[in-house]
Amino acid sequence: MDRALIELKKQQKEKTKNGSGPRCSYPMISFADLQEVAFQLFMDTGAHTKFTSDLEAMAEYVALLTREFVEAASRPTALEEVLESVPRYNSFRVTHSGATVSMCANAWLRMIQVIPGVSEDKAQCLLDHFPTFNSLMCAYRDPTLSRAQKEDLVADKLHDARIQRALSKRIYAVFCEEDPDALI
């Protein structure tokens, strides 16, 4: 790159001596300026910069750089990545009689399904016993029950036949854990 800048300066000096130089002179770009621009390009876009010595290498690099810009422009933002990683639940609450329920019941069903390990069937079974968020929270806030009893409160209600204590403890932790650093 230094050689190219030196050669360019020589050509400009020869043109000015011969009188065939450009009428308006543009400021010369130094190698330090070029390095600064390359560094800024890397910091702003994360694109790798490379100084080439011949035309073929430069053409390959420009093609690579163009691909990098296209990928950088089409990359989703952090918020978009988070939103895309969250599963979308389209379930709706169905009672034993086959009737569908209100939007609030559907939202409560989907809220339960977000908890890891809770399938739609388990959420439907839980909603048979606790049809609203408030009904579950009232049961969890019952002062006569110990913490262990509250953790096992929904263990037998998640499925018709099996008791699921680990999932019941996870549901309790989601709604009642007070430690912000606790893992769920």
The per-residue pLDDT for range 24-78, each reduced to its tens digit, is 555 666 767 777 777 777 777 666 666 677 778 777 877 877 777 777 667 666 6
With 0-12 / 13-18 / 19 or more C-beta atoms within 10 angstroms meaning exposed / middle / buried, residue 122 is: buried
With 0-12 / 13-18 / 19 or more C-beta atoms within 10 angstroms meaning exposed / middle / buried, residue 141 is: exposed
Q: What is the pLDDT at residue 140?
A: 92
For residue 1, give the nearest of 65, 54, 51 by alpha carbon.
51
Assigned token pair, 73: 């422009």
27 or 90, greater pLDDT: 27
Hunting for tokens 């549901």 — which residue is that?
Answer: 171
- Domain coordinates of the chain in residue numbers? 101-176
Q: What is the pLDDT at residue 139?
A: 92
Give the model confidence (pLDDT) of 93-139 as tens digits: 555 555 555 677 778 888 888 888 888 888 888 888 888 888 999 99
The pTM of the full predicted model, rounded to 2 decimals, is 0.47
Indicate the range of 5-14, 114-123, 148-157 predicted with least confidence.
Answer: 5-14
CATH class of 101-176: mainly alpha
- Which DSSP string corresponds to 33-97? HHHHHHHHHHHHH-------SSHHHHHHHHHHHHHHHHHHHHSPPHHHHHHHHSPPP----B-TT
Q: What is the pLDDT at residue 146?
A: 92
